[in-house]
Structure 1
Amino acid sequence: MRSGCGSCGNSRTWGTRLCLSWGDWTAQIGDPSGRSATRPMLTAEQVRENAATYMAQFFKIVDRDRTETRWQSEWFGDFSLTDVISLTSRFTVAQFLARDDFASRFKANQPIAITELLYPLLQAYDSVAIESDVEFGGTDQMFNLLVGRDLQQMMGQTPQQCFLMPLLPGTDGVQKMSKSLGNYIGIDEPANEIYGKAMSLPDDQIVPYSEYLTDIAEDEIDEMRQALGGSSVNPMELKKRLARELVAQFHDANAAREAEGHFERTVQGRELPEDIAEFALPPSEELADMRLSRLLVDAGLANSAGEARRLIDQGAVQIDGERVNEDSTSGVAAGCVLRAGRRRFVRLV
C-alpha cells in the first residue's frame, strides 16, 4: 500500500494479511511525482516522525493485528554501489525522461536531480524485496508502479497487480488535497472540523467525495449525480449526508449527529458555540506590537501566518461579529470573541 506521504510502500497479502512496507529510505531522497520542483530531502528522524503520524491514521482503516510492518531500510541499508549499478543497468534514461513530470521539467529547462531518476528504480525494488502481489497508488504514481512490474519480471517474479486511484481534489475543488495548501480534511481531526470542512466543498465535489470516500451504494450515487445535474435536489442536503458519513467513519454516528447540530447552530444559525474555547491574551505592551495574523496562530485559529493572512484578506476574521480588515490587534480586548472562518472561535481572556 502506498500513500502520498513519501514514507510508505507497497504491499503483499498472505491470505487475509497485509505486509506494509514503509519507504523510510527513499523518503530521504525526494520524489517529484506530479510536482514541478524537486521534493526536499528529509532526515531519517523526520521520516520516522512522519511515518508515525501516517500509521496512526492508516490503522483507523486497516486492522493493525492483521498487518505486518516492514521498513525499506531493511534491504537498502546494506545496498552497495555494485547493487546500485546493477539496478540502473536494467533501464534507460530515455525511458525515465518519458515520464510526464520529468518530460515537462526537461522541456522547461528545470533541474532534474540524478537522485530523482533513481527513485522509481528504488521504489520498484521494494516490490521485489517483499515479492509484492498488489501495489496501490494514485494516478501520479503510475510510472513507478509499472517499473515495479517490469523489475519483478526481470528478477523472475510474478509481476504485481497495480491499482491506480484518482487523486482527490482538496476542499477548494481545484488543487490536489494538501496539508501545505490548507485544503485538506484530516482523518484524525475533531468531528466538528471534518463536518465543517466537508460542508465547505464546492457542489461539484459531492459525487466524487461520496464515491471515493464513503460506502454509499453505487445506485444511490448515480441518483445523486442525476439529481444534481437536473437541479431537483438542494445540494446542501446531499452535502450534509456526505459530512455525516465522513464523521461517522472516523468517529461514530453520535459524533456525526452532534457535529451536524453544531454546524447548524454556529454556521447556519450564526450562533456562538456553547463550549467556546478561551485564549489568554499576552501583556498589553506585547499585544500592541503583535500582528493579528500572529495572534490567530497563537490562539490556534490558523495553522500558519500565511493561512492567517489569507483569512484576514478574505474578510473571514471577526472580532465580536465585526470583520477585521487590517493585520493588527486594534480592537482586541479581554471578553471579545475572535472568529476565523465559519467554524473556529476563541473567547479572549
Structure 2
Amino acid sequence: MYVDGLSLAVYSDTLIPRGLIGNSGKILGCRALTLLHDDQGHLLLATTHRGDLHLSNGIPCVLTCYEHATELLHLTNLVVDREAMAADFLAQLNAQGRTMTTILKTNQYTGLDSFTNVSSFVPLTVDRHGTVRRRVAPAQFLLARPDHDDEPLRLTVVLIRDLRRTVPCSPSEENLPRAWWVDIRHEEVAWWQEGWQATPALAMPTKPKLIPIVTTAEQRDAVTLAQSYIRSFPAQENVIKDFLLPLGLDTNHGFAKTPVINSEVNKKREALEKRCANVQRLFTQMRRVLTPSGRLVILTHDPELLDPLDLSCVEQFEISLFGQRPTILVFLSTSGKSVKGGQ
C-alpha cells in the first residue's frame, strides 16, 4: 500500500489553516488530503483534513477508516513519504505490527559514516549498454527518539548510490592547500603583464548522490526493498490518471509516460497516404494502355508522389495554368513499350 499526502490551496475570504503547497514553497490557506493507494497506485481512500495537518497524524486516520469500511483486519506493509520520518510515529506503527518503508530526510544524515553495518554495493540498475547506473547496499541506522535518548529506533536501511547524479563534497584536510595561492607560480600572478590569463580554480570534488531508504522491518532483501520504493513514484501517478480518464483527458502525466500519436500530424499523414494511393492507382491504369513508341504525359501538382517503376522520365517542366504552376512529366517505357494518357 502507498500512502501520500497532498495540500490543495483554497482561496477564501475566511481565514483557514495554512500549509505548504507542493514544491512551490508557498504557505497558503489549504485543505490537506491523505491518500491511500493500492500496489498499482490506484486510489482506495482519500480523507480531507485541516491544512496544517501533518502526514504522521493523517496516516492513522486513513488506515482506521479503510480497515473499518472494508472490514480488513490489518494493513501491514506501507510505503510512505519522507514526511513520516518521525521516530515516535514509526515506533508506534511498528508496535501495531505495521511495516513502514520511507526515505530519510537530508538533515538526518551526513553521509555514509552516519550508517552502521554497511555491506558492499551491488548493481541495481544498468542502462542498455550495460553500464551500471545505480548500486545498492544494505545497512542499519539508529534514529534518535526525543523522549528516549537511550532507546534509539533501529531501522533497516538500503543505501542507493546514484552514479548518474553527483553532489559536492568537502575535500579532505590533507588535500587542502595552506592558502589558495600556494600552488600558483609567481609569473602566473603577474596580472599586469600582457597576455596574462587567470589561473582556473580547482573543480569542486563531487561524489555520487546517496539515497537512504529505511524500513521498520528487521530483515529485507536490499534489491527488492529498493525496487518496491522506487516503483511507488510512477505508480502513485495512476491516481491522477484515474481522475482524468472519465473527463476524456488521457494525457501523458507523471513518470510512467508512454508515446502518443500526434492527432494533427496523423490526419495530414493519412490524407497524404490516401492521395498518394489515388495517384498510383490512376498511374497504373494509364500504363495499361500501351502503344508502340508512345509516351505517357501527366499533368500534376505532386510529381514527387509518382512511382514510375519501369518508365523513364524523359522530360519535366512547369507551366502557368489559371494562376497555378502544375508540372508536366513525359514518361517513356524502358522496355520498348510506351503509354499515352493524362491526369
* Higher helix content, 1 or 2: 1
Does TM, scored on the shorter chain, surpass 0.5? no
TM (normalized to structure 2)?
A: 0.23
Which structure's CA Rg is the greater one? 2
TM (normalized to structure 1)?
A: 0.23
